[in-house]
Chain A
Amino acid sequence: MRDFFLLMPEILLATTLAFVVASEITYFGEQVRLITATSVLGLAGAFVQTIISYKYGPTQIFGGVLSIDGFSLFFKLLFILLALFSIASMSHTKVIRVENRIEFCALILAGTLSMCLVASATDVLLAFLSLLFLNVISYFLSAYGKHSVLSTEAAIKYLAFGTVSITLLLYSFSILFALTKSLNIYEMHKGLISNPLSPNVMLIAFMLSFLGLSFQLGAFPMYLIVPDVLEGSPTPISAFLSLGTRAAGFAFVIRFLIVVFAQPSLNAGQWQVLGQVDWTEIISVIAGLTMLIGSLLAFRQTAAKRLVGYLVIAQTGFLLIGLLVLDEVGIAAILYNLVIELFALMGSFFILSVFMDELKSDQLADLKGMLKRSVPECICLVLFLLSLVGSPPMPGFIGKFTLIGVAIRHQRMALAAVGVFSMVISTVAVARLAFQLMGDFQKSTQPPLSSNILRKVFLAALVIPMALVGIFADWVFHWAGQSLGFIFW
């Protein structure tokens, strides 16, 4: 019974999903609002339930298949908030038509359910199935703009890449299972310690799993798909995909790599590589390349959504720094950055979707002069993007500081230098976008965008918490640190 109680957030999400799907068949017309409200209530219930779960301490349920600990609860809260914001942003956009909103809610709920499962899975089979579930939902979501060629193309590419990467992941899991006779990652760890693998097998197992997972993260070899997907998907969905799938990927990557391929080191709060293959060096190269590619290509883009897409890739590179140092401080920094990204990405894609409804284009040239037409939206967009890239006065800067700081602490000077360089290029890329927004401010005579009080409330609901995360950064770090306290061993 206790196991079911601790699984309550997922159960609530699943029930709400079932209700929404059932009502999609039976209801139509005016009842759409009712169903949106139901989804929101379901998510809110799951949110509260997740907070309640904190009281029941770190524990494993269903025979060690799922782990309910600070780490998984942190990610569950993040995903549920993301889903709430996505559903709230849905009503402000014209891309998702009223009659399609129920479908949208259903997909978002299903996506959230799968991400929550990924975050707490400690069994590779369950993790594989939940990732697959998440990927399938993501294909649907990216193909949501049925009438758009770009959307269809993005979904096909996404499907192709996704299938390959999930297969690679399955190979890696099979190797590990064959050698350790276990599906649980903690059991695997014990197996690997008592029965070390030869370096070659270890390298292959690691490379296969990391290649598979780098698709989820949008890291170096598999990054090609990210900008296409983010550009092709309807803009409100881009926010959900850009953060949701990546954060779920990070939740699993951190747990999986640190439990299976590392062991606690003599220094408290740190780990060391298990076996003879130093995979942190591999990730360090990948992180550097991802940051460079993301920021340099972002600088060259001519379309706003692709630009943000490449910035997201650069962010992934940054977050990988937090992982490869094998230090609790680094992982806490990843969590902090993900909280910032929640507001920054949601906000930037939301404003871009408002602009795209008006302009029917996201080309930088078409965005020219938007500042005069809608001052608050443009200011918020610039603030969100600067926060995303970590420009100094923004809350995101504290996140970047912690990541670069942890790299320097572990003597990875070159990586830190690449990180700082990538920050500069990303800032300049954002400045290019900002300049287009300013346009010919003094002479512009285009009509202002219709003002909408709900939109401003929604923006305030993103900007104010983001600022608070910066001002009370210490509390967020504390929370992130607490989340790690009992997760791994």
Chain B
Amino acid sequence: MNNHLISYMVFLPFFGALLQAFVSMTRSRWIALAASLAASACAIVLVVSMQIQTSDFQQMESLPWVGSYAISYDMAIDGLNVLMVLLVAILFPVLIASEWNQKVGVRGMHGLFLVLQTSLFGVVCAQDLFLQFFFWGLSALPFYFLVGIWGGEGREKAAFRSIVAASLGDALIFSALVLVYYSVDPHSFSLKELAGGRLAGKMFDFLGYELPVSGVAFILMSAGLSLRAPIWPFHGWFTEVAQEAPSSVFVALCAGSVPVALYIFVRVCYLLFPETLSIAGKIIVAVGATNLVMGGVCAVAQKGLRRLLAFICLSEVGFVLTGIGSLNSVGVVGAVYQQLIFGLGLAGFGLFSGVISERTGSTVFLAEDGERTFGGIATRAPWISVVAGVVVASLLGFPGFGGFVGHALVIIGSYSIHPFTVVVSGGALLLASYYLFAMYRSVFLGKPGVGSHPFEDLTFREQAYMFPVVLSLLFFGLYPKPLIELIRPAVLTVLSAVK
């Protein structure tokens, strides 16, 4: 069965981006939205039509690209990437709708979002390391321009730091790739051919030292990805971007690019470096726990919604990493599931903070002296308060919301291996409930604060784009079974190589 649905999904947004650049502004918005929605429709069809109970690649598309270097255009979906396809599909139409009334350069912004959608779909579906890296490199550039053009006052520094981090990270990943490519014979980039410990025991020579390929490539790969997903202490650029970027752009970063970076980590490291992973599992858990704690502690100190979102993202990434490092089927399934859920949760958070920022021109909810600046929004704008409530509940992992399933699975999974991390995660969740509720109270409840403005509730357009996010958070929380069944066989297969 080959209907090229994946290719349509990946390239429709790109052609939409080209097309919308050449028409008038009123039409361009509709073209952008239509292209994004069409791609998302393809994605939903793909997800719905997936067979369960199998870890095989589905909807495989394969085409030689650069034959002399064994690079091919291999696209497929399986249990590991299906949730990311879903996440990107939900996210980008929502972002385009949220920037519907952008006054400056709306075509450019929508175009960059569409390019980003293409690149993230590409990264997620690619089954060839080179192709994957190709799309991953593409995903770094739009952020630079989105921050540099539409960012706030300090955008120069933020954009610059983000591009430095991204190009450094990409260079590290690239080195890992080339190293892996040249250490197997025949040279190959295909994930399928590289899987299953092909690199075990291979050595290479660097300035007279004999180094293991698998270990060095793993370190390069993780270091490269940690510069694209916020890992403490390399998260400086991330909080900087959070402060300066428009909220929609930051949503694309923390809810789109970051989960995809984690996905690459799972995919590449579990397939390529199983023997290194069995040693490095503990380190991954330690890094994850540190991230969790540092994210939580820093989040407590925040007085603005933007940086708060950045630190929540930091701690969620830590949480997923503890799941990935647990090397245990329940934990990894939870981590994969949580990638989708925290992406949606952060998207919801970013969107409502974007609405608040649009209405009031600020996202600082506590002044320097601790005086609240918003307050009492719930009585004037019930819709947005409900949305925010659902998002906060899901981020905290309340039963019935998406976050519950992910959190529970990760904690159960890691308990048998590293009981201590359970204590850390529990503590971090308690901390999270403190700072999220404190934020909720001072923004939405109580009396209107000093200098608060009249606050309109969500318009129809805003309700329309909040709806898919909230609905999926609720749906995936109440009925996770179909998705878990999709990911479980694939996770079991990759884990079998590690043991």
Contacts and interface: CB of A to CB of B under 8 A. Distances in A.
**A pairs with B:** yes
Q: Is the interface of B mostly helix, strand, loop or mixed?
A: helix
Contact of A404 (B141, B160, B167, B178): B178
Given A392-B170, A393-B138, A413 B182 contact: no
Contacts of A344: none
Contacts of A386: 141
Interface in B151-175: 156, 159-160, 163-164, 167-168, 170-171, 174-175
B454 interface: no
A460 interface: no
B136 interface: yes
Most buried by B among A386, A393, A424, A478: A393
A413 B205 contact: yes
A442 B102 CA distance: 11
A42 interface: no
A441 interface: yes
Nearest to B138: A393
Contact of B160 (A420, A435, A474): A435
A413 B69 contact: no
B134 A427 contact: no
B365 to A, nearest CB: 25
Given A423-B171, A442-B150, A393 B68 contact: no
B164 A428 contact: yes
B179 interface: yes
A408 B217 CA distance: 14
A409 B179 CA distance: 9
Interface string B288-301: 00000000000000
Contacts of A414: 206-207
A185 B181 CA distance: 37
A397 interface: yes
A474 B64 contact: yes
A392 B174 contact: yes
B144 interface: yes
Interface in A424-457: 424, 427-428, 431-432, 434-435, 438, 441-442
Contact of A424 (B135, B168, B178, B205): B168
Nearest to A408: B182
B68 A371 contact: no
Nearest to A432: B160
A397 B205 contact: no
Contact of B137 (A397, A402, A431): A397
Interface size class of B (residues with CB under 8 A): 35 or more
B160 A413 contact: no
A392 B136 contact: yes
A421 B69 contact: no
A350 B170 CA distance: 29
A282 interface: no
B108 A401 contact: no
A434 to B, nearest CB: 7
A474 B65 contact: yes
A411 B183 CA distance: 11
B170 A405 contact: no
A431 B163 contact: yes
Contacts of A391: 137, 141, 167
B474 to A, nearest CB: 37
Nearest to B183: A408
A420 B149 contact: no
A477 interface: yes
B145 interface: yes
Given A408-B182, A428-B167, A435 B66 contact: no
A481 interface: yes
B280 to A, nearest CB: 22
B148 A434 contact: yes
B241 to A, nearest CB: 14
Given A405-B178, A427-B167, A397 B207 contact: no
A202 to B, nearest CB: 27
Contacts of B159: 431, 435
A82 interface: no
A271 to B, nearest CB: 19
A461 interface: no
B204 interface: yes
Contacts of B1: none
B133 interface: yes
Contacts of B205: 411, 413
A382 to B, nearest CB: 8
B260 to A, nearest CB: 15
Contacts of A365: none
Interface in A361-407: 371, 375, 386, 391-393, 397-398, 401-402, 404-405
Interface in B367-412: none
Given A409-B182, A428-B164, A392 B65 contact: no
B91 to A, nearest CB: 20
A398 B66 contact: yes
A392 B119 CA distance: 12
A478 B167 CA distance: 30
A482 to B, nearest CB: 12
Contacts of A149: none
A150 to B, nearest CB: 29
Contacts of B451: none
A303 interface: no
Contacts of B66: 398, 473-474, 477
Contacts of B130: 401
A417 interface: yes
Contacts of B140: 392
A401 B182 CA distance: 12
Contacts of A416: 175, 178
Interface in B185-226: 204-207
A427 B167 CA distance: 7
B34 to A, nearest CB: 22
A365 to B, nearest CB: 13
B61 to A, nearest CB: 16
B419 interface: no
B361 interface: no
A375 B108 contact: yes
Nearest to A391: B137
Contact of A477 (B68, B133, B164): B68
Nearest to B181: A405
Nearest to B103: A442
B171 A424 contact: yes
B148 A420 contact: no
A169 B205 CA distance: 37
B133 A392 contact: yes
B133 A427 contact: no
Interface in A130-170: none
Nearest to B136: A392
A473 B174 contact: no
Contacts of A432: 160
Contacts of B67: 474
Interface in B36-95: 64-69
Contacts of A408: 178-179, 182
B115 to A, nearest CB: 9
B68 A431 contact: no
A223 B333 CA distance: 56
Contacts of A402: 69
A122 to B, nearest CB: 28
20 contacts: A392-B133, A392-B140, A392-B174, A398-B66, A409-B182, A413-B206, A420-B175, A423-B171, A428-B160, A428-B163, A431-B160, A431-B163, A432-B160, A434-B144, A435-B156, A435-B159, A441-B149, A442-B149, A474-B65, A474-B66
Interface of B: 64-69, 104-105, 108, 119, 130, 133-138, 140-141, 144-145, 148-150, 156, 159-160, 163-164, 167-168, 170-171, 174-175, 178-179, 181-182, 204-207
| A-B residue pairs, 6 tightest by C-beta | A392-B137, A393-B138, A427-B167, A431-B163, A441-B149, A413-B206
Given A416-B175, A423-B167, 10 more contacts: A392-B137, A402-B69, A408-B182, A411-B205, A424-B171, A427-B167, A428-B160, A431-B160, A431-B164, A481-B68
